[in-house]
Structure 1
């Protein structure tokens, strides 16, 4: 391994490359845009779960009260019919049955008001999508959040007020990686530390509450088109919290270059610097090249017959 112009360069004979199963492919040109950076914060969902729990209790009570109301109304109608039929029931019994039926109906109306207020509070704090998830805790979204397999990020950008936020963006993690985030809804509450339009995004991984990080808005939704190249996902390796790819710069030389993604898609990334269309990138065996690069160099054995060096 050598350092040439600040880049790590491996020299491997073509026969070794073939034997190792390393494959290369030319990079394809890709039209992309200038990605914009927004600010993201992981919101505290404990108030969301508290409201969801109260809503679930109110819904359970609604079912109980509804059953009682149907029973008391039926009893009132039965007693009233008997009273009308030659006074087979006393007027007092009719009045008592009517009072109980009216009381149960009033409890139902009060429960409806309580549930409506809880749903309104959920929408006001967390938006329509999360409010619907709280009302239906059996949904996949609610299970993801309650099991800590996903978090919600509030993403704010003061420079994109007139540009709709895209369905998907990328979010920096505390470990220095990027993960995909899916839009849930506009945020009904602004970030207290920032001014601008905010949206709520679902991030399907665990990130500590209160974490502040950067979000990278998909280029197609945020700026003019520029020329770039597409790097497939199988050409990317992670090292030191950074994406890298190996480019064959000579028949026996492979150069490791950092990958600074401008845009992301399901099978890879798009870059606008560091790579050029037509360059041969390693699409199979990149991890093997990284391992070879990290292998200690210049270490020779003291024994001419290694199997006899067990002592």
Structure 2
């Protein structure tokens, strides 16, 4: 039996109840046409289930985008930095030894043991080592500048350290580096140490990501500010695009939490039914609602001390608007 035929066979009556029994709250639809009366017996037959509306608070969020960054370019720069560092250290050690050799050669020259030519050759070797050191110091500074320009101070310092635990977590695959891009005109709320991300834009099971630093890199997907965050690698893969949610620190809303099953769509609007009296249900179109782990937070002035329908919502909606469906669409089932 279809939903349409079920609502017809139940004999629902979309009527306006006597004024004395109307709930005090008024709906957004004129003349209370979104009120449905249904006896307790028929509610049971339709399988309607409700849940008390419980007041709640919600911290508003800024939605952003994120990408799992390929850190191979950073690893390449790190390798170049260490190679230049080793070369510079080697040159510095060689210069120290060369200076000692020059001192000995000078002493031998003064005593007539070595020739002036030997002293000159020793000095030339020393000068070549100093030039080698200068070149490697320049390379070190150049690589350091590239690191800072492309990756910022903090990631650069992590990369240049031999045994930085945070950076090792990127190398061994425990952590993924994220580039979070805010919508244009927004800035990261103060104190945003943790945010939530998800590759499927699902708010129910997000991952937590931790702040690393402001990012000097821009994003192709947004003209807003960018930041580096880190998150457990788990199912994240390099190149993935993620949705990110960032709590706004100074904006808390009051309202109600409703389960996912309570919400249906009608005329492009999120819709719920509230049981305002034992036999009366009222439809509300939602404007201010936000996905949360358990369903949705609704920042609407819903009737207090009432219940939201969590099962059979589509039946109520179909019945209320059954007059808009041509009679030939009914399947004729009893």
| TM-score, normalisation: structure 2 | 0.57
Alignment of 1:68 with 2:94, yes or no, is: yes
Pairing 1:224–2:251 present: yes
Q: What SS does the aligned partner of 1:39 have?
A: strand
Q: Structure 1 162/170 Cα, relative in aligned 2: closer, same or farther at 3 Å? A: closer
- In structure 1, C-alpha distance between the alignment counterparts of 2:49 and 2:67, rounded to whole Å: 36
CA distance in 2 between partners of 1:213 and 1:175 (Å)? 7
For residues 138 and 169 of structure 1, the distance between their equivalents in structure 2, rounded to whole angstroms, comes to: 27
Q: Per-residue CA shift, 1:104-148, capped at 9, x if unaligned? A: 111111111111111211122221111112111411122111111
Q: Relative to structure 1, is the Cα distance of residues 229 and 183 closer, same or farther in structure 2, using a 3 angstrom cutoff?
A: farther
Deviation at 1:86, TM superposition (A): 3.5
Q: Structure 2 vs 1, CA of residues 93 and 130 (structure 1 numbering), >3 Å: closer, same or farther?
A: same
User: Where does residue 173 of structure 1 map in the other structure?
Assistant: 199
Structure showing greater Rg: 2
Equivalent runs, 1:98-177 vs 2, <5 Å: 98-157=123-182, 158-161=184-187, 163-164=189-190, 166-174=192-200, 176=202, 177=205
Instruction: Give the structure 1 partner of residue 324 of structure 2.
Output: none
**1:198 maps onto 2:226 in alignment:** yes
For residues 186 and 125 of structure 1, the distance between their equivalents in structure 2, rounded to whole angstroms, comes to: 11
Measured at CA, do residues 273 and 68 of structure 1 come closer, stay the same or move farther in structure 2, by a change above 3 Å? same
Q: 2:241 aligns with which of 198, 212, 235?
A: 212
Unpaired segments ≥5 residues, structure 1: 9-26, 231-258, 263-268, 280-311
* Residue of structure 1 in register with 2:116 after alignment: 91
Q: Is the 8 A contact 1:156 1:197 kept in 2?
A: yes
Structure 1 runs of 4+ aligned residues shifted over 6 Å read none
Give ranges in structure 2 of 5+ residues lacking alignment: 1-43, 258-289, 300-304, 306-334
User: Which secondary structure does the structure 2 equivalent of 1:201 belong to?
Assistant: strand
Are the aligned partners of 2:189 and 2:248 in contact in 1 as well (CA < 8 Å)? no
1:81 is displaced (CA, Å) by 3.0
Q: How has the CA–CA distance of structure 1 residues 166 and 114 changed in structure 2, closer, same or farther, with 3 Å as cutoff?
A: same
Shift of 1:260: 4.2
Alignment of 1:290-301 (within 5 A): none
| 1:205–1:185 distance in 2 versus 1, CA, 3 Å | same
Secondary structure class of the residue paired with 1:94: helix
Q: Secondary structure at the match of 2:243?
A: strand
Aligned residues of 1:165 and 1:217 also touching (Cα < 8 A): no
1:210 and 1:6 map into 2 onto residues whose CA distance is 44
Q: Return closer, same or farther for 1:28/1:191 CA change in 2, 3 Å cut-off.
A: same
How far has the Cα of 1:4 moved from its partner? 6.0
Could you say if the C-alpha distance between residues 108 and 6 of structure 1 is closer, same or farther in structure 2, counting changes exceeding 3 Å? farther
**Length-normalised TM-score, structure 1:** 0.61
Does the CA contact (< 8 Å) of 1:171 and 1:213 recur in 2?
yes
* Aligned-CA RMSD value: 3.4
How many pairs are equivalent? 219
Cα deviation for residue 52 of structure 1 reads 1.2
